Amino acid sequence: MERLKVNLCGIELDNPVIPASGTFGFGYEFAELYDINILGTFSFKGTTKDARFGNPTPRIAECTSGMINAVGLQNPGVDKVISEELPKLKAVFNKKVMANVSGFSVEDYAYTCEKLDKEEQVGWLEVNVSCPNVHGGGMSFGTNPESAAEVTRAVKAVTKKPVFIKLSPNVTDIVAIAKACEQAGADGISLINTLLGMRIDLKTKRPVIANKMGGFSGPAIFPVALRMVYQVASNVNIPVIGIGGVSSAEDVIEMMLAGATAVQVGAANLVNPFACKEIIENLPAAMDKYRIENLKDIIGGALNG
């Protein structure tokens, strides 16, 4: 449907709805449930240079209007993602996919991005400098403007495809970090990753999650995510992908009014595997309700209000 289309760094999406990394596997798992080509695109499971088993269990804790996870970037490593996962994805998905990359050093990020940049099916690289579940990596780069910029420069030096830097909300000034990434050559900003949270088991009187703390996601974080998207979109001149607590067509519209060109759906996929499909199907009616003809026309519509 033409009225749902948006352009993300030169690549046209049929709609702005993108399942977020870590909530949609490598796509083919969901293709058993519905035709995933309905999606704008999706961000596949966070990939690192080497294989990772992830954090010890338990890794998941429930909470009001959300969940906490500390999976710890479990993945088979970039070589197996390229040789095994992408071919399986190609059999069921005929669009460009977003490759989500994490690392434990600047060299790790550059190595993994350079490899994935060569893959024809990869349309964008989403560089995660914001994972709260891994000690000594991820978020340690995303909480400091200079470190985030260093990763950005290193990745841009070895890639040709658009690079989105995924930022952490667990900072004092997210605008400063986003601007540093833009100045270092980032093509776009993805935000937000999860907030840092925890639960304590009243029976054992110990943290529920083995990692003690983890990433808090779900509808409860939507207002925080919306505020940060608005702040960043007001201060950079590159596209923003809005993420955080999105669970409805109305949430997508609100994120786009705040300045998002596209919108990622995360925890909702874990509650309802058809969440993204239903959001896309509900968008035209929501647009009609709010007298919106084309989604691309509302991007940043609230910024000057």
Could you tell me if 260 and 225 are in contact, meaning their C-beta atoms sit under 8 angstroms apart? no
Q: Which of 166, 284, 153 is nearest to 228 (CA)?
A: 166
- Dihedral sign computed on CA atoms, order 23, 29, 32, 37: positive
Could you tell me if 223 and 141 are in contact, meaning their C-beta atoms sit under 8 angstroms apart? no
Q: Cα–Cα distance between 41 and 162 in angstroms, integer? A: 14
Q: Is 113 a catalytic residue?
A: no
SS3 251: helix
Number of H helices, E strands in the chain: 11, 15
Q: Cα–Cα distance between 243 and 192 in angstroms, integer? A: 5
Active-site option among 9, 63, 131, 181: 131
∠280-285-290 over CA atoms, to 5°?
A: 115
Q: Which two tokens stand for residue 39?
A: 């999606």
| Catalytic residue annotation | 131
